[in-house]
Structure 1
Amino acid sequence: MPDWGREVERSTVGGHPCLVYTRRPRSLAELLLERRRWPDRELLVQGGRRMTGTELERLVARTASGLKGRGVGPGDRVLLLGFNSVEWVVAFWALQCLGAVAALGNAWWSDAEVAAAVAQVEPVLAITDRPVDGAVPFAELGGPDAPLDLHPVAEDDIALIMFSSGTTGAAKGVLMSHRSVVANIHNLLVLTGRLPDELPESHPGTVSMLSVPLFHLAGIQTSITTLLSGGRLVFLEGKFDPGEVLRLIEAERVRVWGSIPTMVSRVLEHPDFAAFDTSSVSSVPMGGSAISPELRARVAASFTGVKARVGSLYGLTEAGGVLAAGSGADITSRPGAVGRALPVVELAIRDGGEIAARTPTMTGGYLGDPAPIADADGWVLTGDLGRIDEDGWLYVTGRSKDVIIRGGENIAAAHVEQALLTHPDVVEVAVVALPHADLGEEVAAAVVLRGPADADALRAHAAGSLGRHEVPTRWWFHPGPLPTNPSGKIVRRQVREEWPANG
């Protein structure tokens, strides 16, 4: 079984000084073994399917055997592209057991974005139900019965490739080592008091519902921490539906629902909310975008079991996960605070007010880019502006990078601009974030035209290369030229400030 502990020591990671847990697991695959403590408990629920830990291990072993027969081996990259499902979870663990690298594609990508990701990752195999050359559908992953065999890996070997929107274009693959992923999970288990070594076999586990994607770091975190603590993970059957969320909370007696503010707001506004029994919910941690004090108050008032446990998580894919967390009165009494640094995380404010972090969860950089993410001293710049008070609480005050956070999804303004500039009628364009009551922010485009194109034509054009969530929903047909700085670069901040009230 993996070894866990709370003790922290100063060590060297990636050539930089860093805090690490003294006793810690050294690979991601070995975490699957922890579930053997509760072999017959249900672990995964989706629709009519209910799977125990023993059944999951058996399927993982068979799938690993099948993938090995298809030529997948240690260090090989495999694109995993799909929405939340039991099959996705099985494939994920099978790849870890083989020592392979799982590249977690965004299921909302357009076909052009999928093709770009395939070119970037160069996978030996793609597991997806999408039309990708050489892909294997999830339903065809099985293999012969086989014992579970964990291929040995080094702590700094790459385990995952997750995709970040970046600030300058298409999604970039972020390299995450076993050390990075495990340290992030370790932090969360210490935060919630659920280190496996400290849990008796009689520990009842927590029923958690996952409505965020598994291809997001938050989805990976929830699925693994639930497995490690003897809990049950409940998936929606299809796309997000506030009514299904309420039905599942009542039917499965969900205790923890980790989500994003947009989803939580939509559930609270469901006309039949009061008709469902939601008293089992005791915690609603939210991340992905800013959480207003009003939403925190509504959650506490609507979910009667939550009381003071409306949580806040702050993190960054490039830094490997959650950096700061807080809950209850600690957060509500500090408007704007997102939490305090987790045990092996160091936070600092750099010149210009940008938040920086140093942690063993930091990633190995971008795929195909030799430039390190961290600076010479191991600090990663987050792209967010903030401050740290005398008690160590972190406050996020703005963003220094041009990224739009729409319903928890990060969208690079430059990526959308590049797609629009390929339309023959577009002379110049600036894409900015505008406030949205439900989504937090929406994508807005200020466009200077040379021809007769209208919003419908530009939307259709953009949809040919962008994901649906990336296509602008607000338009300003600007008379031109767009405002620029002395070097000729368009000033998005000024475009946003001058946006017409009826635009």
Structure 2
Amino acid sequence: MDSLDALLTAPGAPFSVERGADGRLAYAEGPRTLREFAETTWAYGDTPFLITEDGRTTYAEFFAAASALARRFLDPDEGYGLRPGDRAVIAMRNHPEWQTAFWAAQLAGLVAVPLNAWWTADECAYALDDCRPGVLIVDGERYERVRSWLGTVPDPPWTLVCHGEGHAVDGPRVERYEELPAADPLLGPPDVDVLPEQDATLLYTSGTTGRPKGAVATHHAQTGAIANALYFSALSALRRGLVPGQGPAQIGMLTFPFFHVAAFTGFFRAMAVGGTLVLLRKWDPDVAVRLVREHGVTAFGGVPTTALQLLERAAELDDDLPTLTSVSTGGAPAPPQLVQRLTARYGERVEPANAYGLTETLGAVTSTFGEQYRKGPDSVGRPAPAVEVRIAEPAGEAVPGGEVGELWLRGQSMVRGYWEDPEASAAAITADGWFRTGDLAVLLDDGRVRVVDRIKDMVIRGGENVYCAEVEAALYEHPDVLEAAVFGVPHPVLGEEVAAVVRVRGGLDPSALREFAGRGLAAFKVPAHVVVQKEELPRNATGKVLKRALRESWPPSP
């Protein structure tokens, strides 16, 4: 802990922590529930909250709409007659109505269930059967995907459809959002008690290795996630010689889909200080560059792929993005070239930031930024104050310092378990509250964490461990490599050997890439098979490469 950190975490400071009766660290101050947090946003009034390509929504408009929808959720006569604890499914693109629906659920004491907007009808049906919602709030595209499911259940939930132009919106208990009565800003939210120990969200995992599981978080856990995000922001400001909370609020461009926990970190941070979020209907680097300049965006947040594409397109256009002061990435491992390219073009004007978190940790629990990140781009930084780290062997004992083990985490912002799945909960969370991440990591001498690889991604080649993330980082060093995915493929003698699928520009060939990788890697780590292509690698909605799809299609067609 340095002196700046002590200013934030000392007893009585904004981010001081205490250990609860359950042995976990928790923040001593701050809101107790997401409802309390949402209620503070009315104070920002006419400040823009969300800016889309179609218009803008102020904090006053947002809070009035969320309060009105929360009352409709609970009203037994003119509304849906839901009860606190019922599930409210939200499935749509990053429309302003997503935020209205999510926070209306919190104001009403419901459990918000954001669904992956990329899911197919079958995937949506699986989650709907699993969580049994009392209401669905969907856009027109997602309505088409859930329509068949609605026709199969004997007592369908209420369904509220926004942006349903061009879609036949009909059926029992189906309404159009645009036809609801206008929100009365004087009424406020419904009168309902929401307690810290009650469930706030049910977030489905990405499902890259199997069926997604519903990770359940209490209000207490989600307010811990808010505090984590604000702590990292405050420490960043102090390290840059600024006073946290002073000066104009950031104007952020948030490219994560709202259903992803990395987006939660972004909109929690904005809402806490009255910041503005600029949204894209879908990712497009040309549109992003234009909107950064048009709205004076100061902070960019997205997966490493979108950040790299933004920087590359801005360079092609010779646009210095003069208002930009920070670029934060998460949701997928960031290649070291990202911070190197950012520093080479913008020097210290634009602060790089990277974070580590999972659905089960409700977003970022470690972070690195500024000079620390520039000097150590292979690290994901130090943990937040209410987060403990253990690098463990399979039995749970801590490994010696500097050795690789599984990353275990414990603290306020961890989920309580998986929805109606005690076996999966017990397998992931120990009796004393440690969450097994499934990631291999090293704890460095200064307290920083370096994530080495996913346990399931590690290749064991002839008894030697090969960490795919290390090989990918070596490939990314080549200036013509745009994307790289490394994984293991079967070998009759060695058990496994290393393969790579790489998206490149120009005429780069596999042998040149293998030679390039061999300059910095031991011979057994160099990919035995390299496939180059100009098409983008398959990814899920959160930006993670679908290595399972690449393995299943191996070997590729000649």
**C-alpha deviations, 1:26-53, integer Å up to 9, x for none?**
1101212222332121111112311211
- For residues 475 and 81 of structure 1, the distance between their equivalents in structure 2, rounded to whole angstroms, comes to 30
C-alpha RMSD of the superposition = 3.3
Runs of 4+ in 1 over 6 A off after TM superposition: 198-202, 403-406, 475-478
| 1:332 matches 2:374 | yes
| 1:153 matches 2:153 | no
Counterpart pick for 1:368 among 405, 415, 420: 420
SS at match of 2:442: strand
Shift of 1:125: 1.6
| 1:227 matches 2:267 | no
CA 356–50 in structure 1, closer or farther in 2 if over 3 Å, else same: same
> Residue 325 of structure 1 contacts residue 341 of structure 1 at CA under 8 Å; is this kept in 2?
yes
**C-alpha deviations, 1:393-413, integer Å up to 9, x for none?**
10111111359999xxxx9x9
SS at match of 1:322: strand
Structure 2 partner of 1:62: 68
Counterpart pick for 2:410 among 358, 362, 365: 358
CA 200–287 in structure 1, closer or farther in 2 if over 3 Å, else same: closer
CA 199–74 in structure 1, closer or farther in 2 if over 3 Å, else same: farther
> Residue 250 of structure 2 contacts residue 299 of structure 2 at CA under 8 Å; is this kept in 1?
yes
**C-alpha deviations, 1:110-168, integer Å up to 9, x for none?**
11101111111111121113222253212523345451125221112111111113575
Instruction: Using the aligned pairs only, state the percent identity.
Output: 31
Structure 2 partner of 1:84: 94
Shift of 1:55: 1.3
- For residues 380 and 245 of structure 2, the distance between their equivalents in structure 1, rounded to whole angstroms, comes to 34
Q: Which AA in structure 2 matches 1:160?
A: T
- For residues 364 and 388 of structure 1, the distance between their equivalents in structure 2, rounded to whole angstroms, comes to 25
- For residues 270 and 348 of structure 2, the distance between their equivalents in structure 1, rounded to whole angstroms, comes to 20
Shift of 1:72: 2.6
- For residues 105 and 23 of structure 1, the distance between their equivalents in structure 2, rounded to whole angstroms, comes to 31
Shift of 1:477: 7.2
CA 366–402 in structure 1, closer or farther in 2 if over 3 Å, else same: farther
Structure 2 partner of 1:212: 256
Structure 1 partner of 2:49: 43
CA 273–36 in structure 1, closer or farther in 2 if over 3 Å, else same: farther
**C-alpha deviations, 1:78-120, integer Å up to 9, x for none?**
1100110111111111111110111010000011101111111
Structure 1 partner of 2:444: 389
> Residue 101 of structure 1 contacts residue 161 of structure 1 at CA under 8 Å; is this kept in 2?
yes
Q: Tell me which protein shows more helix as a share of its residues.
A: 2
- For residues 216 and 121 of structure 1, the distance between their equivalents in structure 2, rounded to whole angstroms, comes to 18
SS at match of 1:128: strand
Query: Is there any run of 5+ residues in structure 2 with no aligned partner, and where?
Result: 1-11, 151-155, 164-175, 237-241, 395-404, 459-467, 473-484, 488-495, 505-537
SS at match of 2:456: coil
**C-alpha deviations, 1:416-456, integer Å up to 9, x for none?**
xxxxxxxxxxxxxx9x9955448xxxxxxxxxxxxxxxxxx
Counterpart pick for 1:104 among 99, 108, 114: 114
- For residues 4 and 102 of structure 1, the distance between their equivalents in structure 2, rounded to whole angstroms, comes to 31
TM-score between the two structures when normalised by the length of structure 1? 0.77
Shift of 1:170: 1.3
> Residue 217 of structure 1 contacts residue 317 of structure 1 at CA under 8 Å; is this kept in 2?
yes
CA 288–306 in structure 1, closer or farther in 2 if over 3 Å, else same: farther
- For residues 77 and 224 of structure 1, the distance between their equivalents in structure 2, rounded to whole angstroms, comes to 21
Structure 2 partner of 1:292: 335
- For residues 296 and 227 of structure 1, the distance between their equivalents in structure 2, rounded to whole angstroms, comes to 27
CA 202–468 in structure 1, closer or farther in 2 if over 3 Å, else same: closer
SS at match of 2:263: helix
> Residue 64 of structure 1 contacts residue 98 of structure 1 at CA under 8 Å; is this kept in 2?
yes
Structure 1 partner of 2:311: 268
> Residue 199 of structure 1 contacts residue 229 of structure 1 at CA under 8 Å; is this kept in 2?
no
Structure 1 partner of 2:218: 177
Query: Is there any run of 5+ residues in structure 1 with no aligned partner, and where?
Result: 414-429, 439-461, 479-498
Question: Greater relative contact order (Cα 8 A, min sep 6): structure 1 or 2?
Answer: 1
Structure 2 partner of 1:278: 321
Paired residue total:
424
- For residues 211 and 64 of structure 1, the distance between their equivalents in structure 2, rounded to whole angstroms, comes to 27
